Amino acid sequence: MTGTIDRRSALTARLAPPALFTVLAVAGQLAAPAGPARAVLVLPAILWVPGQSLLTGLGLSRAAGRFRPALAAVLSIVALIAAGLLSYAVTGHVPLAVLPLWVSAALLPLNLLDLPSHQDPGPGLPQLLERTRWGTLYGAGVLAAGALLWGVAAQLPTTPQQPYLSFSLGAPYTQVKGVLPARAGQLLTVPTVVQTSQTRDLSGLTVGVLVDGAEPAGQLPAAVQPAADATAGTAQVQVTVPAGCLHRVELVLQRGSTPIRSVDLYLRTGKGTACGGG
Amino acid sequence: MTTFATDRGPVTSWGVPRPPDHDGRDAPRFGSPAAWAVLWLTAAAGALLIAYAFSLAATDGTDVVHYAVFWFGMLVFFCPAAVVLTARRVDDRVRLGWLLGYGLFSYLPKLLRNPTQPLFHDEIAHWRQTTDLAAGGQLFQPNYLIGIVARFPGLHIVTASISDATGLTVWQSALVVMVAAHVLALFGACALGDALFGSLRAGVLVGLLYSLNSSFVYFDTEFAYESLAMPLFLWCLACLARAHRADGANERRRRVGWALGAVTAGAGAVATHHLTTVVMTALLLLLAVVTGAGAVRGAVPRGTAALTGWVALAVGGCGAAWLILVAPATFGYLSPYLGGGAGQLLHMFSGSGGTRSLFQASTEPVYERYAAFTVPLLSAALALVALLRRRRIPAAERRGEPLVRGLGLFGLMYFPSLPFILVEFGAEGARRSWGFSYIGLAVLVTPVLLAGLDRIAALRGRVWAAAALIAVLTAGDALVGNVAAGLDEDYRFPGPFVFGSDTRSVSAELVATSAWFKDHLGARLHVVSDRYTGLILVRDADALPASPSNGFPTYDLYFNATPPSSFLVHELSSSDYSYLVVDKRMATELPEIGVFFEPDEPFAFGGKNPITPGDLSRYNALPWTTKVYESDSYAIYRFDFSAIHSTVPGGAP
């Protein structure tokens, strides 16, 4: 009678955890918010249940002894890889979100293959609960140390970064595909954008224009208008397309009269290879 | 013959029980709550010191104080851990608890190096591969940083599954996988030692020795396929060793179960990493030969030899099938490292150059360099003692453990690999081989060390204290030396910007440039860039950078002042390359690691910059390169190959 009870207890202890973790994982996927909370519920079903089932199926659950959790994790990882490859080979797609749960559920019956015997009933529920208590305490210690480390590390100074200033074409010219077709005499309004890591860099900046290397007569530089957060600014520049074949319009960001950045556009007013028309 | 004590009583180096030479009543005991308190306190204190060292390095990378603080933090935990893990009378649970603590603690330096996003070159390649898999569920998608990565999807399947199933980000999931893999590797080595020597104490020592290899703290902790393949490799060996042990008359099913476990773990490694597959297959074949030879002499049961051969054939068959059918490019990928290294080594011995100086321009402190040089000497001395010691063991006993012998032979491969560290192409391969050969070396020298530790335990008073201190400091020296020999400062510590470094070339400016690229130009765009800019464009802008090579020489756009060849233009145009990204410092600075793009490029490791400012600024006046963005150091140009022959008034030809 005692042997039967021990055996039943051991059988329950063997089946209950993987089944419970699988159910918890399903519940976690259905109900828990994505992120750490769901991970706590789902990870045991990914990294322990399949391997534990395989260990039992191979008749190694007791033989693995103190290395059983580690070996179960190793076999779980391999089971997941194998299931992913198999799924891809069959369907051409890996259903990643549900694959771990399928693997866990599909391998659960293996836990029935190596039933505990009267001579070697294996650990019962009391032993399992004792291990759980120990594992919980250890885990709490790790989490406490981790929280302490994280809290301190977040307060420590990090690498100071060099300030920078960038200058770019604004939409829709950011999407320019290369040489642009244009008509001679056409007036283009080209937006430009300045971004900086430091607000002070925007003061006194202007954007000037050079067409084929020369400043158009009567063209005044446009002042950069800071945006609300003062780390970005814009300037609209108007360019009259000259006559000819192919022209370079250079937009120069300058502080005073000193050029500091530039972007450009190429405008084609003629046809043929020489005019950039391919 | 010297014996050493185990949790199951004293045994010989071959795991045969022997009567105890003393009962160890005076040996220190570990098993009380104090052991747990010491574990927590030393681990927490060590972790805080390492974090402080990283902060020091980040804010003032020029001094070497951060090295001292780092090692103080590491040794604050390592030294007591080494004592507890190898002491004679320690409760199993305490020993394993400390081993777990050591596994978690030894992941901290890498975790603190880049906790929030991928940073190392290979990491970014794998992270991108995993992110793409998590988004689309498609395996074998091309990888634009390391092409071969796509053919080994094991790591990506596991990480993407965790990410999609839990809602964690891909990087958070990667950390879960990497921490698990790191700890599992340590426990795999421990399980192997436990199975070979029949003692948890010996097993833990094998794990501890294995953890001293130069890849354990930094390289095999990065998010890359080798980091996951390594525990699978070690557990394959551990399962095989357990199969060897299960040789009783009623243990046939268990023996087959362990063999299947070995094949399962080995097959997992096959789908995960190429080099592990090659090394694992070679090692299993070696073990099969050694075991088979033992069976021929009657020293090993024929069933055991057959089982070993079966495992070797199964795993090797899986590996061969995978490499031939799924990843045939592996041979082309690995051959330059093997052939190039051997070729350069021959050149070195013939005096015709090709060498590199160890710790050249290194910022590592002197004690790290000395420690690095002492490790091979220490290893050689221990290996020599182990080999001499074996000669004294009766032949009948010596023949009884083919796996110990085979792994010992494998461990001796560490020594022929040492000269390769002196040549450019061989250095990387040599370092990587140590991650494997160290498990053999650990198995080889563990009996010697256990015998030595037992002798120390038998000492009393100050002599005992001095001997114990020397033993712990020697272990610390091995840790310091091997970490120093692994990766240089740029990988190990944060710090100021360094041009041409995978990890230190990341600046706020580059991150902002990549963000601008993604926001304004789009994702999944083909770009030409240097190695370091390309990494962050892949990570932050989901760009598809060119992989330059002799057949696709995109580096000519930087190295060559003449217009690109019609072949290159055709290749770029037909493959829809849209943007050229230039780091203007390429014309004024040499890259820290010796290459602008990849090791096969012209002028690699040449010490002289082939790029002039004019080579780069010419794109400012060419109609086929429209400059759409410029910052302090970066410029982005839009390609228009239809205008390749066009000129503008006052522009370059």
Could you read off the pLDDT of B188-213 as tens digits, one per residue? 999 999 999 999 999 999 999 999 99
Same domain assignment for residues B225 and B146 = yes
pLDDT of B410 higher than 90: yes
Tell me what the pLDDT averaged over chain B comes to. 89
pLDDT value at position A121? 57
Same domain assignment for residues B281 and B423 = yes
Report the share of chain B in percent with pLDDT over 90.
72
Question: Amino acid identity, residue B473?
Answer: L
pLDDT value at position A202? 82
The candidate with the shortest Cα–Cα distance to B299, out of B202, B209, B219, B399, is: B399
pLDDT interval class at B19 (50, 70, 90): very low
Containing H/E element for B526? strand B526-528
Which residue in chain A has the smallest CA separation from B165?
Answer: A97
Same domain assignment for residues B116 and B186 = yes
Rounded to an integer, the average pLDDT of A155-167 is 92
**Which residue range forms the structural domain that includes residue B142?**
31-492
A residues 190-229 closer than 8 Å to B (CB): 195, 197, 212-214
Q: How does strand A246-255 pair with strand A205-211?
A: antiparallel
Rounded to an integer, the average pLDDT of A105-134 is 74
**Residues of A whose CB is below 8 A from B182:** none
Residue A164 C-alpha from the chain's centroid: 26
Please report whether residue B12 resides in a domain.
no
Domain boundaries, chain A: 2-123, 165-275
Task: Please check whether residue A13 is in contact with residue A123, taking contact to mean a CB–CB distance below 8 angstroms.
Answer: yes
SS3 content of chain B, % helix, strand, coil (to 5): 65, 5, 30
Same domain assignment for residues B424 and B530 = no
Does the model's ipTM exceed the 0.95 cut?
no
Question: Among A35-49, A81-95, B598-612, which is the least confidently predicted range?
Answer: B598-612
Q: How does strand B29-30 pair with strand B526-528?
A: unpaired
pLDDT of B14 higher than 60: no
pLDDT interval class at B335 (50, 70, 90): confident
**Residues of B whose CB is below 8 A from A243:** none
Rounded to an integer, what distance in angstroms lies between the CA atom of residue B603 and that of residue B595? 8
A residues 121-160 closer than 8 Å to B (CB): 134, 138, 141-142, 144-145, 148-149, 152-153, 156-160
A236 vs B252, higher pLDDT = A236
Same domain assignment for residues B441 and B513 = no
pLDDT value at position B420? 82
pLDDT value at position B400? 56
Which residue in chain B has the smallest CA separation from A191?
Answer: B628
pLDDT value at position B354? 58
Task: Please check whether residue B274 is in contact with residue B401, taking contact to mean a CB–CB distance below 8 angstroms.
Answer: no
The CA-atom distances, in angstroms, between A15 and each of A10, A108, A113, A125, B542 are 9, 8, 11, 11, 45
pLDDT of A174 higher than 80: yes
Same domain assignment for residues B204 and B349 = yes
Task: Provide the 3-class DSSP secondary structure of residue A94.
Answer: coil
- Residue B213: DSSP 8-state: S
Rounded to an integer, what distance in angstroms lies between the CA atom of residue B653 and that of residue B651? 6
Please report whether residue B19 resides in a domain.
no
pLDDT value at position B340? 63
pLDDT of B360 higher than 80: no
pLDDT value at position A134? 82
The domain total for chain B is 2
Containing H/E element for A246? strand A246-255
Please report whether residue B18 resides in a domain.
no
Please report whether residue B5 resides in a domain.
no
Please report whether residue B21 resides in a domain.
no
Same domain assignment for residues B488 and B518 = no
Q: Which two tokens stand for residue A19?
A: 């089944």
Look up the pTM and report it: 0.92
- Residue B79: DSSP 8-state: H
Rounded to an integer, what distance in angstroms lies between the CA atom of residue A222 and that of residue A233? 12
Our CA-based measurement puts residue A134 at a distance from the nearest CA of chain B, in whole angstroms, of 10
Considering only CB atoms, B507 lies closest to which of A38, A152, A162, namely: A162
pLDDT value at position B16? 35
Same domain assignment for residues B564 and B615 = yes
Q: Which fold has domain A165-275?
A: Immunoglobulin-like (2.60.40)
The candidate with the shortest Cα–Cα distance to B222, out of B181, B271, B165, B161, is: B181
Please report whether residue B422 resides in a domain.
yes
Q: Which two tokens stand for residue B412?
A: 């001796």
pLDDT of B423 higher than 80: no
Our CA-based measurement puts residue A198 at a distance from the nearest CA of chain B, in whole angstroms, of 12
Please report whether residue B503 resides in a domain.
no
Same domain assignment for residues B480 and B517 = no
- Residue B421: DSSP 8-state: G
Task: Please check whether residue A108 is in contact with residue A49, taking contact to mean a CB–CB distance below 8 angstroms.
Answer: yes
**Residues of B whose CB is below 8 A from A46:** 161-162, 165
B343 vs B432, higher pLDDT = B432
Q: Which of A35-44, B348-357, B457-466 ranks highest by mean pLDDT?
A: A35-44
pLDDT of A131 higher than 70: yes
pLDDT of A170 higher than 70: yes
Rounded to an integer, what distance in angstroms lies between the CA atom of residue A40 and that of residue A37? 5
Same domain assignment for residues B420 and B512 = no
Q: Is the dihedral of CA B387, B391, B397, B400 positive or negative?
A: positive
- Residue B45 has, within 13 A of its CA and on its CB side, a CA count of 12
Domain boundary among B422, B457, B492: B492
Q: Is the peptide bond before A172 cis (omega within 30 degrees of 0)?
A: yes
pLDDT value at position B30? 60
pLDDT value at position B4? 45
Rounded to an integer, what distance in angstroms lies between the CA atom of residue B357 and that of residue A225? 54
A residues 29-48 closer than 8 Å to B (CB): 29, 33-36, 38-39, 42-43, 46-47
Domain boundary among B468, B492, B516: B492
Report the share of chain A in percent with pLDDT over 90.
62
Same domain assignment for residues B276 and B424 = yes
- Residue A121 has, within 13 A of its CA and on its CB side, a CA count of 19
Q: Which two tokens stand for residue B429?
A: 């391969």
Same domain assignment for residues B447 and B527 = no
